[in-house]
Amino acid sequence: MSTLKRTFKDIVQYPSAVVGLIIIAFFIVVAVYTVSTIPYSEAIRLWRGGEDVWGDSPRTAQPLWTNWFRRSNLPETIILDTADGTATKTVMPLTETMTDALMEFTFDYPYGGFPQELTIFFTADYQEKPPHADLYWVMPDGAEIRVGDTTVRRAERFRFALDGGDRLMRRLEGLEPQIGLFAADREAEELTALQGTYTLRIEGILFEKDSDFDAKLVVYGQAHGWGGTDLLRRDLMVALLWGTPIALSFGLLAALGTTVTTMIIAAAGVWFGGIVDELIQRITEINMILPFLPILIMVGTFQSQSIWVMLQWIILLSIFGASIKGYRAIFLQIKEAPYIEAARAYGAGNGRIIFLYLIPRIIPVLIPNLVNGIPAFVFLEASLAVLGLGDPVLPTWGKVIEEARHTALYQGQYYWILQPAALLMLTGLAFAMVGFALDRIFNPRLREV
């Protein structure tokens, strides 16, 4: 306990290490929060979800924090639904069977920019004859534009840009609907959106007695959530949050697995000496020329891409790592220490000497190595993801980078790639800074220079 306290006191001497510790603590809090609020299965469901999960969010929308760097805020998504009462629906029977349904979607639009898309999702209930709907758009200045009409099947989707067709485009001076329907002046050089209250009116006719239909208007914004969205409309926050526990546990497990096994083998080799030692040496030399990454790539291609399978292979390939030689040199010195001799004299067994006498002495060397190893493995996961060998189901930072790399870099959606990259960088730096300080604390010779 007192050593722990002393170590901590030493660490406080290094401001960078303190910063690193704070960052690590922050990430641990985020990881715990994530795992407790979004369970594992839920994270997978969300990340693999398609239109059914993410239908209401825009594609590649900027995260909200980018608004801090803009003069005017980007439009956010507006959702109005007759089913939940955010839009009005009045039903008036016309004849025995025919019914008139009037829906009004009124919303305030305070943005200077334009929305990304306009879509109406219909759900209808009928036996044979589907309802019919006429759509009208009312601008804040009172101007009314006919959008089009549609037959409402059971699950119908009306996309303004597609289903409005050329006729709507002509009415809007050739502009796309999401721009034309919001533009203050459609002939202006530089288009700006008219701020104020807009209304979408749907005049529907139901042809059956028990027929009914509801509609949901989604005005897709250009900013969405604190993480933004990707090309598949998924909220990147899910991946950014879930990437934290995955990165931390992967890095820690891999670093722990490799350093501890390497150390035990080095200790055993030194203790038993002779042929065991010789064998371990030779295996280490062979291991040194094994192409580590290509073998992992093969495992990913032929066996499994699950990061837990990868983890096993990483540990397996690193057991006989080059650091065995460093540990061995230290163990060789310790082996000659009088207390080992004493232990042998009282009849301690091999296992006892290795685990209770040799290994504890090397922990000061082990800990910096362990902490320094974590960033390498955190980045290794991302590297595998960039090679297309990311975990098939889990959302990880590396996978977001890989998905973003192909589009975001070329199309300017920089948030998409910068957010996971920044998190990776922070994690790596935090562990590296702490490891760096630990290295100096435990190896006083480095402290002099």
Partner 1 sequence: MTEASLSVQTEGPATAMLRPRTRAATLLRLARYTAVKLFMLFVAVAIGIYLTILIANMGGYVDQIMRSQIQEQISLTVSMDPELRQLPVEQRQQLIRDMAALEEQRLGLDQPFLLRSFRFLGRTLTLNLGRAQQMTSDSGSRLVKNIILERLPPTLLFMATSNLTLFFTTLFFALYLSRHYGSVADKLVIALAPTSSAPAWFYGLFLILVFAGVLGWLPFGGMIEAPPPEDLLPRVLSLAKHLILPVMAWLISGFFVNVYGQRTFFLIFSMEDYVELARAKGLSSRDIERRYVLRPTLPNIITQFALMLISLWQGAIIIETVFNWPGLGRMLYSAIGRYDSPVIVGSNVIYAYLLAITVFMLDFIYALVDPRVRVGSGGAKA
Choice from 6, 146, 209, 325 touching partner 1 (CB under 8 A): 325
CA distances (Å), origin 62, targets 182, 194, 339, 374:
20, 21, 64, 31
Do residues 180 and 187 make contact, with C-beta atoms less than 8 angstroms apart?
no
Return the structure tokens found at 400. 């977001």
* Residue 68 near partner 1 by CB under 8 A: no
* Residue 431 near partner 1 by CB under 8 A: yes
- Shorter beta-carbon distance to partner 1: residue 123 or 383: 383
Choice from 246, 389, 423, 438 touching partner 1 (CB under 8 A): 389
Q: Using CB under 8 A, which of the segments 59-67, 196-204, 242-250, 441-449 binds partner 1?
A: 441-449
| Cα atoms in the 13 Å half-sphere on the side-chain side of 429 | 11
Choice from 297, 332, 343, 393 touching partner 1 (CB under 8 A): 297
Choice from 382, 400, 423, 438 touching partner 1 (CB under 8 A): 382
CA distance 48 to 395: 9
Write b or e for each residue in 158-196: b if 16 or more Cβ atoms lie within 10 A of its Cβ, otherwise e.
bebeebbeeebeebbeebbbbbbbbbeeeeeeebebbee
* Residue 346 near partner 1 by CB under 8 A: no
Choice from 274, 294, 338, 444 touching partner 1 (CB under 8 A): 294
* Residue 379 near partner 1 by CB under 8 A: yes
CA distances (Å), origin 321, targets 201, 260, 373, 400:
70, 11, 12, 30
Total number of residues that touch partner 1 (CB under 8 A): 56
Cβ within 8 Å of residue 217, ≥6 positions away: 78, 79, 80, 81, 87, 105, 118, 119, 120, 200
Smallest distance, Å, CB 337 to partner 1?
21
CA distance 231 to 48: 13
CB atoms inside a 10 Å sphere around CB 406: 10
Residue type for position 443: N
- Shorter beta-carbon distance to partner 1: residue 198 or 431: 431
CA distance 309 to 253: 12
* Residue 401 near partner 1 by CB under 8 A: yes
Smallest distance, Å, CB 3 to partner 1?
23
Smallest distance, Å, CB 328 to partner 1?
8
Smallest distance, Å, CB 201 to partner 1?
43
* Residue 442 near partner 1 by CB under 8 A: no
* Residue 165 near partner 1 by CB under 8 A: no
Strand, coil or helix: what is 373?
helix
CA distances (Å), origin 19, targets 240, 345, 365, 385:
21, 48, 22, 28
Return the structure tokens found at 354. 């290795």
- Shorter beta-carbon distance to partner 1: residue 103 or 365: 365
39: left (phi over 0), alpha (psi -120 to 50) or beta: beta
Smallest distance, Å, CB 449 to partner 1?
4
Smallest distance, Å, CB 262 to partner 1?
11
Q: What is the DSSP string of 22-41?
A: HHHHHHHHHHHHHHHHS-HH
Choice from 323, 354, 362, 403 touching partner 1 (CB under 8 A): 323
* Residue 295 near partner 1 by CB under 8 A: yes
* Residue 406 near partner 1 by CB under 8 A: no
Choice from 339, 388, 392, 447 touching partner 1 (CB under 8 A): 388
Choice from 165, 196, 291, 349 touching partner 1 (CB under 8 A): 291
Q: Using CB under 8 A, which of the segments 37-45, 83-91, 152-160, 368-376 binds partner 1?
A: 368-376
Q: What is the DSSP string of 213-259?
A: EEEEEEEE-SB-TTT-B-TT--BHHHHHHHHHHHHHHHHHHHHHHHH
Positions in the binding site for partner 1 (CB under 8 A): 16, 281, 285-286, 288-295, 297-303, 322-323, 325-326, 329, 369, 372, 375-376, 379, 382-383, 386-389, 401, 405, 409-410, 412, 414, 417-418, 421, 424-425, 428-429, 431-433, 435-436, 445-446, 449
